[in-house]
Amino acid sequence: MPEETVVPAAEMQKTVQEYIDERPIWADGTKTPFTPMTAMQWRIWALACAGKFFEGMVVFMTGVALPLISQEFGLGAGAKGFVTAATLAGILVGASALGGMADTFGRKRMFIVEMIIFTVFLIALTFAPNFFFLVIFLFGAGVALGCDYPTAHMVISESIPTTVRGRLVLSAFAFQAVGALAGTAIGYAILYENPDKISDWRWMYASAILPAIVVVFGRLFITDSPHWLLSKGRVQEAEEATHRLLYRSPVYPKKVSLGHLHQPNKEEPKGGYGELFNQKNRKATILASVPWFLQDLGTYGIGIFTPTILAAIIGAKADENTLRDIIHNDMLAAKGSAIMDLLFVVGIIFAIFLVDRLGRIRLQITGFIGCAVGLALAALSMREDGGNNMALLFTGFMLFFFMTNLGPNSMTYLLAGEVFPTHVRGKGAGFAASFAKIGAVLTAFLFPILIKAIGTGPLLWCLVVAFGAGAVVTTVFAIETKGINLEKIGDPKHDKKVRKLYKADAETEARKF
């Protein structure tokens, strides 16, 4: 094991991130190629993964549960729209309303509160007596999941080494796709075991209750963000949190000193939402919000088209004359959804391996263009006589689902939590997530209407334009954060230098920051 050189704090004053990024040194003075993660850092990462897992699980499980819910409560088309949009609307509200509170009350506190809220509404869902309460409980669960968008990102990114930040944040985000696959699989298994029970949808939601309680308990024992504590002038607590975060055997660092970073006479930044639109942060706000909105507009919209494709691939549906027929069709849809979920997983795996090599901006632009090409192929597959070239249609959608997680679906999430200064990072990431979910909610309500009004083909071409616009906006407002110390985000001189290095693709030089 490499020996570590102990440098007294008086001789070398470090920032929080410099303590986190410090690498062990071999006896001959050679630095190790990476910074080893501590047990606390891995614990924080795993507990953040759980939040993304629950999001994917609940959102996609609702799709499997919807036919049974509709049958039990006698829902029409409009009521079904409320059910599918309720969780998304909750995420829209929660990302800003609760996520922004992480800048005021701390990352850890909101990390715990959101999971408690989620668990309470999850329990309530299993006992929902009617349609009204069902929508309320789905909305409440969505509010908690919305809070997780900024907080999960921040608890990871503010506690791990800069060199692996992109990979580990995206690895956690990947559990959204894993949760979607698990939710679909659990729904299918419950339907398979009880093919004649209309109340099966309640057991689907109930399956997540015990794991959620375990996660709440685990989050009680993590450390708060030293970055946030220091931004609030709580120097001693920041030092203790940094020491606990980096605890390892043998103990290193033996002492954490951050007092030199505290400026007691300096006025603390207000950190309100207005700061997101001032000259300093406006570019970051546009980059974090607009491409994410365009991405959600298309990604959630495509979900409406996939049942038609999957029905043609998997096989014919039964007539929905009996409960058994309804469950049979629901199982077919679950199988089809699993295919697309697998493509999401494959796309995010590629993103994890490439994000810290190619950078966030390149992947986001490439992904937007790839999505546009996939949707264009799908649009071209539709013939004037009403028929479809299924091979071309399927190829287009396969390309879309892969490219969206390789690029915009994952990169928009990653960038939103990186491009803002510490004191408004929660509000910035929360606002971006809320703005994005406006697109998702609009999609849930308007796409069926637009399909009937203008047709599937023209609507696909509209989405091609939307994804093309996403690539343009990303290019114009690009802020590359690959390998960048989060403490330096927002420094104009630093941002200018990063842009120069990024343009020249000087990866070796960028690591010197």
Residue 512 banded pLDDT, cuts 50, 70, 90: very low
Are the C-beta atoms of 291 and 473 separated by less than 8 Å? yes
Q: What is the average pLDDT across 38-57?
A: 93
Burial (CB < 10 A; 0-12, 13-18, 19+), residue 136, is: middle
pLDDT recorded at residue 337: 54
Structural tokens at position 299 = 């990604």
CA angle 116, 243, 240 (to 5 degrees): 70
**For 191-195, 203-207, 245-249, 320-324, which range has the lowest pLDDT when averaged over its residues?**
320-324
- Rounded to whole angstroms, the Cα distance separating 482 from 43 reads 24
In terms of DSSP H, where are the helices of 98-130?
Answer: 102-105, 107-126
pLDDT at 308 over 70: no
Q: Tokens for 439, please give them.
A: 């697109």
Cα–Cα distance measured from residue 178 to residue 176, given in angstroms and rounded to the nearest whole number: 5
> What is d(CA 174, CA 188) in angstroms, rounded to the nearest whole number?
21
The whole-number pLDDT of residue 160 equals 93
What are residue 25's DSSP bridge partners?
31
Alpha carbons 447 and 158: distance in angstroms, whole number: 38
Classify burial at 236, counting beta carbons within 10 Å of its beta carbon; exposed 0-12, middle 13-18, buried 19 or more: exposed
pLDDT of residue 263 exceeding 70: no
Condensed to tens digits (0 to 9), the pLDDT of residues 383-429 reads: 776 666 778 877 888 899 899 989 999 999 999 999 998 888 999 99
Q: Which pLDDT belongs to residue 314?
A: 47
pLDDT at 335: 54
Considering only 13-27, 169-183, 386-400, which range has the smallest mean pLDDT? Answer: 386-400
pLDDT averaged over the chain? 82
Cα dihedral 353/359/361/364 (nearest 10): -10
The two tokens of residue 36 are 């080893």
**pLDDT tens profile 348-396:** 899 999 998 899 999 999 999 999 999 999 888 877 766 667 788 778 8
What does the domain layout of the chain look like in residue ranges?
39-229+267-510
Q: Residue 178's pLDDT band (boundaries 50, 70, 90)?
A: confident
Q: Which two tokens stand for residue 437?
A: 């979910």
Tell which residue, 389, 363, 111, 78, has the closest CA to residue 225.
111
- pLDDT at residue number 334: 52
Banded pLDDT at 14 (limits 50, 70, 90): confident
CB 281 within 8 A of CB 490: yes
- Kindly report the length of the chain: 513
pLDDT number for residue 362: 95
Q: Is 318 left (phi over 0), alpha (psi -120 to 50) or beta?
A: beta
273: which DSSP letter?
Answer: G
Q: Which two tokens stand for residue 84?
A: 């599918």
Strand, coil or helix: 2: coil
Of the pLDDT bands very low, low, confident and very high (cuts 50, 70, 90), residue 257 is: confident
Contacts of 220 (CB under 8 A, 6+ apart): 112
**List of residues 6+ apart from 73 with CB closer than 8 A:** 79, 130, 131, 134
Selection from 277, 413, 406 nearest residue 348 by Cα: 406
Say if residue 503 is exposed, middle or buried (CB neighbours under 10 Å; 0-12, 13-18, 19+): exposed
Amino acid at site 454: I
Structure tokens at 228: 């946030």
Q: What is the pLDDT of residue 302?
A: 73
When pLDDT is averaged across residues 333-344 and rounded to a whole number, the result is: 61
CA distances from 156 to 172, 417, 462 (A): 9, 10, 36
| 283, 477 contact by CB (below 8 A) | yes
What lies within 8 Å, CB to CB, of 289 at 6+ separation is 416, 431, 432, 435, 436
**Is residue 103 pLDDT above 70, yes or no?**
yes
pLDDT at 428: 92
12 Cβ contact list (under 8 Å, min separation 6): none
Return phi, psi of residue 382, to 5°. Answer: -90, 120
What whole-number percentage of the chain has pLDDT above 70?
81
Q: What is the pLDDT of residue 128?
A: 92
Q: Which residues pair with 382 in a beta bridge?
A: 388
Q: Which two tokens stand for residue 37?
A: 């993660």
DSSP 8-class letter at 194? -
The tokens for 225 are 């963000």
Beta strands (DSSP E) in 55-165 are none
Judge whether residue 299 has pLDDT over 90.
Answer: no
Give the per-residue pLDDT at 272: 77
Residue 266, pLDDT above cutoff 60 = no
**Residue, of 345 and 271, whose pLDDT is higher:** 345
- Cα 358 to Cα 77, 361, 470, 506, distances in angstroms: 44, 8, 19, 11
For the domain bounded by 39-229+267-510, which CATH number is listed? 1.20.1250.20
